[in-house]
A and B are shown apart, each in its own frame.
Chain A
Amino acid sequence: MALLSSEAKRLDQAAAISTSKKQTVLNTFKRDYQLWLMILPAIIVVFVFNYIPMYGIQLAFREYDFSQGITGGEWVGLKYFEQFINSHMFADLMRNTIFISLATILIGFPAPIILALLINQIKWKRAKKTLQTTVYLPHFISMVVMVGLLNVMLSPNTGIIGHLMGALGFGEVNLLASTKTFVPVYVLSDIWQHVGWNSIIYLAALSSVDPQLYDSAKMDGANRWQIIRNVELPAIVPTIIILLILNMGSIISTGFEKIFLMQNTLNLPISEVIETYVYKIGIISNQFSYAAAIGLFNTLINFTLLILMNYIAKRVSNISLW
């Protein structure tokens, strides 16, 4: 999808020829004023709720003053950043946040691709349809229901998976309350819930592969594995790269709800991440400036991962954000 890389390049062009762009916008305003009216509400909503809070980031450098709200109060520089770095929570939070994010990406990302390749190989139409319908379904259940489901099923004494673990000889392991099992349960249940839905886009990409490629591969005597590896995978690489980059944003933000709901005192050493800590420090105990500063570390991690992914994408293929 050339959408994003070309948009970024066009911004440079637009900036470079800004005078002529302005003239043209003004020129066409009379002709297009209705279009402007139609898009104005969306612009206002996005500006207010997405861009104004960006200004609020400077709150991390100020002492929060109730009377001044988001514009903050007196400047205190790096005070809260130093406080966080020196706090005993810093190392654990950074480690947990990075670890969970990476695990989600590295394990969760390939799963829909594999499923799509699998579904694509099924020749029997009714089986294919049944599998697809079933596998899309969990995507629609809410996060609360999902974690509730985990709680009842993985409970060591009363849950069906708890019983299964006992039968397999792992009776001592409490899947819900152990620091060792938190990340696997988190990542695997994530896959269970979303692998079907996420495979749709790869299936769509696979369905547009040129049949001639299949024919020529068969003529060369390729077996099914080789066809998958040499025809289908390369065909979906562009989709993979784009989704990988796009997912960077959403992985870290939706993580909060599920982690928050799965946390308990027993798995907290590994389940406390920056976002949940920010919630506790900021929303619960109202230390706004400190929480804002901590939150910026999360933004930092996200950005680093984004830049890393973009770099890898550039090296592996021609597609990237910038």
Chain B
Amino acid sequence: MHLLSRKGRSTPDLLFDIFIFVVAALAFLVVAYPLYFIVIASVSDSTLVSTGQVLLFPKGFSLFGYQEIFQDARIWTGYKNTIIYSVLGTALNLILTLPAAYVLSRTEFRARRFLMFFFVFTMFFNGGLIPTYLLIKDLNMIDTMWVFIIPFSVNVFNLIITRTFFETAIPREMYEAASIDGCSHFGFFTKVVLPLSKAVISVIGLYYLVWHWNDFFTGLIYIRDNSLQPLQLVLRDILISNQVFSEGAGSGGAAGGYAQRYADQIKYGVIIVSTLPILIIYPFIQKYFEKGVMIGSVKG
């Protein structure tokens, strides 16, 4: 294996490579092991897990945790809400961000510099929690589904990434050629620019989607009605406030002991269930990451 061959390699270099390899392996384990552990713990007997006997393989294989999770109405409501908010929210994000980024990428647009400042300024300064809350209240969006979709639907980081992509991928000559044929900006954007932008649409679409999926703050601050709560709030109840069972079991008696035995297994299972969609999409989108980040930042 070429890694270990000493051909043309001095001792200090070899030691360095070994050092790098060891540190890299450690980094890998530190990150991978907890993730692996969650998976095996979610199908293992809770008592064995909590006494530290489950380390490399599941022990006392049991799917009880997952059964309980799929029977819990809160999980289903939360999942449904999160899917709705994420899909609608991301759609609105793209509808707003893509055209705006296109406009900002056109050098002939006179208000370009002013508008860039207008957007970038909001990255460093905002009104604060209370004024924002009161605004949402005055707009009557408290306790509605729209508070998950409409506010803050333009993320300036994503806007900049997209703008930079358009600047480099869509030269001015392309538009000029198209406009000679009678093409308007609208037409050019929809017929030429968008089809060429699959990479950047995937990247920022994913960024927005993951942001919506993981959003805990919006539901916490603006929603009191439990039927509107997204999955993250349900998770908070289960994982952090310890309300593992919807009937409130775990509070005592025979039911309490029974509940306690399985509470941890359910927690591990719930972590997997809620992150699963993201994990499934992950391999497909991974190839776009480095490209996307490179596009958006190092340039200029």
**Looking across the interface, which residue of chain B has its beta carbon closest to that of A138?**
B31
Q: Is B30 an interface residue (CB 8 A)?
A: yes
**Looking across the interface, which residue of chain A has its beta carbon closest to that of B272?**
A145
Write the A254-270 contact mask toward B (1 if CB under 8 angstroms, else 0).
00110011000000000
Q: Are B274 and A145 in contact (CB under 8 A)?
A: yes
Q: Are A25 and B235 in contact (CB under 8 A)?
A: no
Q: Are A127 and B117 in contact (CB under 8 A)?
A: no
Q: Are B12 and A53 in contact (CB under 8 A)?
A: no
B contact residues around A3 at 8 Å (CB): 160, 300
Contact of A278 among B129, B135, B264 (CB under 8 A): B129
Q: Is B258 an interface residue (CB 8 A)?
A: no
**Looking across the interface, which residue of chain B has its beta carbon closest to that of A205?**
B298
B contact residues around A70 at 8 Å (CB): 131, 134-135, 138
**Looking across the interface, which residue of chain B has its beta carbon closest to that of A70?**
B134
Q: Is A16 an interface residue (CB 8 A)?
A: no
**Looking across the interface, which residue of chain B has its beta carbon closest to that of A162?**
B52
B contact residues around A121 at 8 Å (CB): 16-17, 20
In Å, the complex CA distance between A144 and B278 comes to 15
Interface size class of A (residues with CB under 8 A): 35 or more
**Looking across the interface, which residue of chain A has its beta carbon closest to that of B292?**
A200
**Looking across the interface, which residue of chain B has its beta carbon closest to that of A228?**
B16
Q: Is B69 an interface residue (CB 8 A)?
A: no
Q: Are B286 and A133 in contact (CB under 8 A)?
A: yes
**Looking across the interface, which residue of chain B has its beta carbon closest to that of A293?**
B130
**Given contact pairs A151-B239, A239-B298, A288 touches B130 in the complex (Cβ within 8 A):** yes
Give chain A nearest CB distance to B136 CB in angstroms.
8
Interface size class of B (residues with CB under 8 A): 35 or more
Q: Are A131 and B27 in contact (CB under 8 A)?
A: yes
The stretch of B57-65, B108-116, B245-253 that contacts the partner chain: B108-116
The stretch of A86-94, A95-103, A153-161 that contacts the partner chain: A153-161
Write the B257-300 contact mask toward A (1 if CB under 8 angstroms, else 0).
00000001001101100110011001000100110011001111
Q: Are A7 and B12 in contact (CB under 8 A)?
A: no
A contact residues around B51 at 8 Å (CB): 158
Q: Is A217 an interface residue (CB 8 A)?
A: no
Write the A125-150 contact mask toward B (1 if CB under 8 angstroms, else 0).
00100110111111011111101110
Q: Are B97 and A118 in contact (CB under 8 A)?
A: no
Q: Is B119 an interface residue (CB 8 A)?
A: yes
**Given contact pairs A7-B113, A34-B184, A38-B186, A137 touches B31 in the complex (Cβ within 8 A):** yes
**Looking across the interface, which residue of chain A has its beta carbon closest to that of B122?**
A50
Q: Which of A92-119 contact B (CB under 8 A)?
A: 115, 118-119
Write the A24-54 contact mask toward B (1 if CB under 8 angstroms, else 0).
1100100010111011011101101111111
In Å, the complex CA distance between A114 and B230 comes to 37
Q: Are B116 and A7 in contact (CB under 8 A)?
A: yes
Contact of A148 among B34, B110, B240 (CB under 8 A): B240
Q: Is A314 an interface residue (CB 8 A)?
A: no
Write the B32-69 contact mask toward A (1 if CB under 8 angstroms, else 0).
10110110010000000111100100000000000000
Q: Is B81 an interface residue (CB 8 A)?
A: no
Q: Is B243 an interface residue (CB 8 A)?
A: no
Q: Is B13 an interface residue (CB 8 A)?
A: yes
B contact residues around A242 at 8 Å (CB): 297
B contact residues around A144 at 8 Å (CB): 214, 216, 232, 235-236, 239-240
**Given contact pairs A39-B104, A138-B31, A122 touches B240 in the complex (Cβ within 8 A):** no
Contact of B12 among A4, A59, A223 (CB under 8 A): A223
In Å, the complex CA distance between A115 and B221 comes to 36
A contact residues around B150 at 8 Å (CB): 45
Residues of A within 8 A of B (CB): 1-4, 7-8, 10-11, 14, 21, 24-25, 28, 32, 34-36, 38-39, 41-43, 45-46, 48-57, 59, 69-70, 115, 118-119, 121-124, 127, 130-131, 133-138, 140-145, 147-149, 151-153, 157-160, 163, 192, 196, 200-201, 203-205, 208, 223-225, 239, 242, 246, 248-249, 253, 256-257, 260-261, 275, 278-279, 282-283, 288, 291-292, 295-296, 298-299, 303, 306
With A11-B114, A163-B52 given, can you name 16 additional A-B contacts, CB distance below 8 Å?
A39-B115, A46-B122, A49-B135, A52-B135, A53-B132, A54-B131, A118-B24, A133-B286, A140-B282, A145-B239, A152-B41, A200-B289, A200-B293, A205-B298, A239-B297, A261-B236
Residues of B within 8 A of A (CB): 2-3, 12-13, 16-17, 20-21, 23-24, 27-28, 30-32, 34-35, 37-38, 41, 49-52, 55, 95-97, 99-100, 102-104, 106, 108-111, 113-120, 122-135, 137-138, 150-154, 156, 159-160, 184-186, 189, 210, 213-214, 216-217, 220-221, 232, 235-236, 238-240, 264, 267-268, 270-271, 274-275, 278-279, 282, 286, 289-290, 293-294, 297-300
10 closest A-B pairs by beta carbon, nearest first, are A56-B131, A53-B127, A148-B239, A158-B50, A142-B214, A42-B100, A38-B99, A53-B131, A163-B52, A295-B128
